[in-house]
Amino acid sequence: MGSRRFFGTDGIRGRTNVSPMTAEMAMKVGMAAGKHFLRGDHRHRVLIGKDTRLSGYMMESALVAGFTAVGMDVVQVGPLPTPAVAMLTREMRADLGVMISASHNPFEDNGIKLFGPDGYKLSDKDELSIEALLESQVNLAPSADIGRARRVDDAPGRYMHAIKSTFPQRLRLDQLRIVVDCANGAAYKVAPSVLWELGAEVIAIGVSPNGKNINDECGSTSPQALQETVVASAAHIGIALDGDADRLIVVDERGTIIDGDQLMALIATQWAKAGRLKGGGLVATVMSNLGLERYLATQGIGLERTSVGDRYVLERMRSGGFNLGGEQSGHIIMSDHATTGDGLLAALQILAAMVEQGAEASALLNIFKPAPQLLKNVRFAGGKPLEDATVKAKIAEAEKALGDTGRLVIRPSGTEPLIRVMAEGDDAAQVRHWVGAICDAVQSVAGD
């Protein structure tokens, strides 16, 4: 079937009104994906959600046109988190789910993520079949079989009910003051509501979307406003979601950022003690800190590493029978409850542990001492700098120097002309030295 032209590791994404992220392409995706999922003679249904980007209106209308043109009915649920769309696709027995979002990217970008009827992101095989249809003439439905579109109003309530049901019934958040930063994105209504309904005193920021301010100096990729608000309001904890609410970063009561590695360490430990952890361990990516791996080993919990990207984490979870996995960036997948990363779901696990143990966030969430880790990006003009002999020699030299107590992860970005160079070890100065040396080597052969 050939290689992918449009689908990346997380659907189709790009700058809006620039190919491939145009209304014309969205309509073609609707027609191609609709045609691919027309199976049997029942009325076919696709569920479409979006985040709060200005271009969401345009992309949604174009997708609706494409899907209805091939005979699919459309259910529009409006702005909702990506995991809500995955969940509702399954719950409402849709043949296909679509999320219009570019996650943590700025408002100028947008993307199209597709979910199968089981609520999981599409397989490579399905994506390649849709790509083939994108470049062919799709047969349109006869006039009498064109699809209908309707909006449903109870989708947020359904998602909120499902999320709240994962929180232990015997517990309440009555004693907690929580700051939640919704990134002016998809969870701007549901996240504060869920926390309030569970009893918390909620201070919500990043809940005034205007189409252009999603992820703009707010959310999990810019937590400074959250840090300041937590300290200024003497809150017990701060929670930051990204634009489509599938990732979580936490700020403790002192204003210190807690990344996904520490959050996964807590959840894995809690679940292991309760006999809930499946697969014998946790699935994380090559970017997760060495400190996490060492800590889990002391608890008798394994760590399996995958390539970067939540789709690879999920693939390993499904093939190995794991029920917990995620990324340092805060994508945390709990497959007993969801088919994709869910920031709010993960936050409730953290909050339940706080209530149960009566512990402050700083005491609860600094579980292991991270090994010194440094990541730098080198922009390059073209070619394949990692195949150059001098770069290879420098990498080999670094690997030898770091030995058994360190790690090196060097990879090209999947979305930009960047080489990502990450090293970690017990000696921060040594880590800095080798990251710098490898970056210099790449720069000297690749140019900017």
Q: Are 71 and 36 in contact (CB under 8 A)?
A: no
For residue 333, which phi and psi values (nearest 5 degrees)? -110, 120
Crossing angle for the helix pair 428-446 and 389-402, to the nearest 10 degrees: 170
Q: Are 386 and 419 in contact (CB under 8 A)?
A: yes
- The SS3 call for residue 128 is helix
Task: For residues 111 and 51, give the distance between their C-alpha atoms in angstroms, rounded to a whole number.
Answer: 10
Q: Is 21 exposed, middle or buried (0-12, 13-18, 19+ CB in 10 A)?
A: buried
Nearest to 101 by CA among 120, 124, 81: 81
The residue written with tokens 């003009």 in the block is 381
Integer CA distances (angstroms), 382 to 4, 414, 417, 437, 438, in order: 20, 14, 7, 20, 17
Integer CA distances (angstroms), 46 to 33, 60, 98, 151, in order: 10, 12, 7, 12
Count how many residues are written for the chain: 448
Q: Is 101 one of the catalytic residues?
A: no
The residue written with tokens 């994105």 in the block is 185
Catalytic residue among 55, 101, 103, 220: 103
Task: For residues 10 and 99, give the distance between their C-alpha atoms in angstroms, rounded to a whole number.
Answer: 11
Query: Tell me, what DSSP letter sits at residue 220?
Result: T
Structure tokens at 80: 């909702």
Q: Are 11 and 50 in contact (CB under 8 A)?
A: no
Which of the residues are catalytic? 103
